[in-house]
Amino acid sequence: MIIRRVFYHWQFIAAGALPLWLLVGSSIFGSGAWAVLGIFFGAVLIGLGLLLVALLFFARKEVRETRAVSYADVGVLTLWHTLIIAIPFSADAAGWLSVLVIVGGLAVFWFALWELFDSAKRRMRAMVDLVEQTARGQSAPAAPGHPLPHVSPKTTRPTPGFGRTGTPEVIVIEEKRDRI
């Protein structure tokens, strides 16, 4: 859990720190002036990509509640950040590493988007199940994984009928149209 929480905070720091590392590391490890200029523009785009992916992870409710990303998030972020960190160390392989960083960034983006939609789908399915149970007159489950934690079984029980039968009331509203 500690690693997941560290990555939760690191992903926002990395949006600024890793592009800065690309610039400083390329200057330190002997890249030419034109290479550093190219890396500057690439670093800006990588920084925006890192921020976008961090916001996609942050958009998931379970990530915001626990303040921790999943282990799968840790794995893909570790791979992508390692590739970004490795670029300044080798001027010979910087071209191939740059391509891997771009492909990895696109893969991480689609992975984060897929996890966001999957999380939303699970929450929506739980909400539909809750509505269906309530419509059938069953009480809602009070499990810790309940989609609405503030709803307790007390609030979902049907109100007493006050001497009426168990049949539901029907209200009919007639529409009157003005004649022109």
In this structure, of 32-46, 122-136, 145-159, the range with the lowest mean pLDDT score is 145-159
Q: What is the pLDDT of residue 161?
A: 52
172 or 111: which leads in pLDDT: 111
- Which of 89, 49, 66, 88 shows the shortest CA–CA distance to 7? 66
Higher pLDDT, 139 or 63: 63
pLDDT at 148: 53
Q: What is the pLDDT of residues 94-144, one digit of tens each?
A: 778 888 999 999 999 999 999 999 999 999 999 999 988 888 877 656 555
Assigned token pair, 141? 């489950």
How many secondary structure helices (H) and strands (E) does the chain include? 6, 0
Identify the pLDDT of residue 173: 81
Question: What's the angle, vertex CA 149, arms to CA 145 and CA 155, rounded to 5?
Answer: 120
* Residue 150: band (very low, low, confident or very high) from pLDDT cuts 50, 70, 90: low
Query: Which of 10, 87, 23 has its CA nearest to residue 51?
Result: 10
pLDDT of residue 139: 65
Q: What is the mean pLDDT of the chain?
A: 82
Rg of the Cα trace of the chain?
A: 26
Residue 131's Cα: distance from chain center in Å? 25
Cα pseudo-dihedral 107, 112, 113, 118, rounded to 10: 120
- CA dist., res. 164 & res. 16, Å (int): 66
Give me the mean pLDDT over the 8-23 stretch: 91
pLDDT above 70 for 74 = yes
Nearest to 42 by CA among 29, 28, 23, 25: 23
Question: And the tokens for 119?
Answer: 């999380």
Rounded distance, CA 49 to CA 178, Å?
Answer: 58
| pTM to 2 decimal places | 0.69
